[in-house]
Structure 1
Amino acid sequence: MTHDLGALIGPDGYASWEELTARVARTTLGRWVADGSLLRLQRGIYCLPAAAQDWRLRLEAAVRSTGGVASHRSALALWKLLPPGGPVHVTVDHSRSGRGPAGVVLHRTRELRESVRRVDGLPVSCVERAVVDAWGSPGGVPRAELRGAAIEAVRNRLCRPHQLVDEVQRRPCLPGRRALLELVALLADGCRSELEIWGCLNVLRGPGMPRFTLQHPVVVRGRRFILDAACEEVKLAVETDGAAYHGSKQQRERDIGRDALVAAIGWQTLRFGFRRLTAAAEECRREILAVHTERRRLFGLDGGR
């Protein structure tokens, strides 16, 4: 009897030993594995050879075979905060063995279920836990990419800075703990990109600088805008323009239009691009201070700081 292996495996791309042996003899299944027609993907899980390199399929099979949840860098990939790839990471209950099959990294915890969410039908660690887990066990992911994942998670409102802090506080021995807390503090202050972090640390918080509030909202004619940094006492805004977002002609025109609108309610906007901000921080500070001083005079604030 000829079997359609694709039909036997089904639309998920994999099937369990129990599902397969309910339809074919164990000896037949053993023969297919021996001759390479089927591959043993995980313990008790089988797939067609062509599907074995599919990262999502391998993750789904690992979650199913272990009863765990996608975690660490795999969870960040499901949340679209990192690209998929590499070994899959799954967290299981502490009572289970920590040894995983080839291509699967198993982690154990006593708090498995309290942080579980679902993404595309798969159980997955919540964003804040996935960020902190991956920070402590990066699995080959560069620290810069993990910083980017944390920033993106907060910017897209997948989690809040205080939730990241709560997760970090649970891990007194977390590798890189201080660096992560410093990053989260900047996110809590309102930074939403690496460029804004650079500008905040090296320009806005430089010696003698006035106080700026990050991510300051203003409303003009019913439209709401968020200023990167704002000194409200003199209505001075500072915008940090990354090339990826502000480099196009269309975006520059939108920026000009926005600056004109906020100017209509008294705000002056200074814009600094990536190259100037990072290569000439002191020059940027001098320009901001000079404009701030003139704005104080304009507002009749005695010319002092």
Structure 2
Amino acid sequence: MDSEIEIGEGGRPKGRPRNVDRRIAGIAGAQHGVISLRQLIELGLSRRAVSHRVEAGRLHRVHRGVFAVGHRLLTPSGWRMAAVLACGPGAVLSHRAAGAEWAMLRWSGRDEVLVPSPRRARSGLIVRSANLPPDEVTVENDIPITTPVRTLLDLASVLAPDQLLKAVNEVHEQRRLWGAISLEAMIERHRGERGVRRLRSMLAEAGYGIPQRELEEAFSRFVAERCLPRPELQGVVRVDGRYFKGDAVWRSQRLIVELHSAGHHGTAPKITRDATRDRLLLIAGWTVVHVTWAQLHDPREVRALERDLRKLLRAPSG
């Protein structure tokens, strides 16, 4: 490694010698392998010195004013960090790029960044401007980024409803993604903005915020109004020494209904647990039916659900 001295006016050394390469490596190591031109200049390098390192293959330009150190083999997080650095002070990762960093969704398109004030376009990036309050930004994996709840708000303007619901489910299932401000409070704070109405509508349709008790009451009304056999609510079923709780259980017919306030897709671990439980119950002769809040409030779904439950319960038509 070489040491460099920052040269001041008249060609005289300015300050003490610095082991520049070691400091570059330290900064890049904390930033997923990338460093900005601004940071290089703050270390005492001239633009000419930076160009020399690029020509020598020690720095690799990945965005205007941003370089990978040593090689260009960046991780997805490295490219996202580079995108934030390319947009300058106050920039944060946002929208689908933030959703991918929070593991809410998969995204391989252009990285998306929010900046405090309008700035010139950046090649290969999607840059938007918004003046975010402090409780809507954070740092995740050393990358400045919108909070999970703020990310959901931004995703509402760019995702299809089914993709948005999956992202909301992911945040709902992972407690580590919960923040100081709730999704409901975020929606209220930004009402009238793009995407907010879509997000509010999707949450209402999926039944987010509906307590389990209210969901059970809605299903009980559905059963009573159609004169179906009454189930045992929160019944416990024993299968091969293991115990499983069902939201609604008909023991004689070996039928279980699981109720969901916001769809039943959830996260990968939850899907795996549910799949294992359903398989064991099926082998033991039980049938498990999943019913959502949305289905209980959609006339077409209600008719189909009644028809299917009558068959499973061997109940006569009303």
Shared topology, TM-score over 0.5? yes
- 1:117-266 residue pairs with structure 2 within 5 A? 117-136=138-157, 138=158, 141-157=159-175, 158-159=177-178, 163-185=182-204, 186-189=207-210, 208=225, 227=246, 237-239=256-258, 245=271, 250-255=276-281
User: Cα 1:121–1:281, aligned 2, differ >3 Å: closer, same or farther?
Assistant: same
Q: CA deviation at 1:206?
A: 10
- 1:266-305 residue pairs with structure 2 within 5 A? 271-272=288-289, 282-288=303-309
Q: CA deviation at 1:147?
A: 2.1
User: Which amino acid is the alignment partner of residue 76 of structure 1?
Assistant: G
Partner deviation per Cα, 1:63-106 (whole Å, 9 max, x = no partner): 3433322221122112110124222222232xx33434222323
Whole-angstrom CA distance in 1 between matches of 2:105 and 2:73 = 21
Query: Which of 79, 87, 91 is the equivalent residue of 1:68?
Result: 91
Is this contact kept in 1: 2:152–2:168, CA < 8 A? yes
Q: CA deviation at 1:109?
A: 2.6
Q: CA deviation at 1:189?
A: 2.4
Is this contact kept in 2: 1:91–1:112, CA < 8 A? no
Query: Which of 125, 140, 155 is the equivalent residue of 1:104?
Result: 125
User: Which amino acid is the alignment partner of residue 76 of structure 2?
Assistant: W
Tell me, what secondary structure is at the counterpart of 1:60? helix
Tell me, what secondary structure is at the counterpart of 1:66? coil
Is this contact kept in 2: 1:218–1:227, CA < 8 A? yes
Is this contact kept in 1: 2:94–2:145, CA < 8 A? yes
Whole-angstrom CA distance in 1 between matches of 2:54 and 2:227 = 70
User: Cα 1:143–1:224, aligned 2, differ >3 Å: closer, same or farther?
Assistant: same
User: Cα 1:285–1:159, aligned 2, differ >3 Å: closer, same or farther?
Assistant: farther
Structure 1 unaligned residues grouped into runs of 5+: 192-196, 261-268, 295-304
Is this contact kept in 1: 2:257–2:290, CA < 8 A? no
Bigger shift: residues 177-186 or 67-76: 177-186
Q: Give the aligned partner of residue 302 of structure 1.
A: none
Is this contact kept in 2: 1:68–1:92, CA < 8 A? yes
Tell me, what secondary structure is at the counterpart of 1:189? coil
Tell me, what secondary structure is at the counterpart of 1:91? strand
Q: CA deviation at 1:13?
A: 1.6
Bigger shift: residues 108-117 or 44-53: 44-53
Q: How many residues end up aligned between the 2 structures?
A: 257
TM value normalised by structure 2: 0.58
